[in-house]
Chains A and B, each alone.
Chain A
Amino acid sequence: MTLRERLRQCLRLFLIFLKIGAFTFGGGYAMIPLIEYETAEKRDLIEKEEISDVVAIAESTPGPIAINSATFVGYRTAGVLGSAAATLGVVLPSFVIILVIAFFLRRLMEYRVVQYAFFGIRAGVLALIVKAVVSFWKRADHRVFGWCVMVGAFAWAALTDWSVIGLLALCGAAGFVFCAVQRKRGKLP
Chain B
Amino acid sequence: MKSSIARIVELHSRSFGVPAHERIVLPNGLTLLIVPRRELPLVAFQLLLRGGALGDPVGRAGVASLTAGLLDKGAGERDAAAFAHSVEGAGGSFAASAGPECISVSGQFLAHDQELMLELLADAVMAPRFAAAEFARQRLRQIGHIRSLKDSDPSELLSQYGRGLLFRDHPYGQPATGGEDSLQAITLRDVIAYHRAHIGADGAALVLAGDIDAAWLKVQVTRRFGAWGPAAAALPAVAPTVKLRRRRVLLVDAPGSAQSYFWLGATGLDRAYPRRAALDLVNSLFGGRFTSLLNTELRIRTGLSYGAGSGFTRGRVAGEFAIRSYAETRHTVRAIDLALKTLAGLKRAGISQAMLDSARSYVVGQYPMNLETAADWAAQLAELELYGLDAGYIEGYGPALRRASLQDAREVIDQAFPLGRQLALVVIGDAAQVRARLERYGPVQQLALAAGSFT
A, B: real partners? no
Q: Which residues of B contact A (CB under 8 A)?
A: none
Q: Which residues of A contact B (CB under 8 A)?
A: none
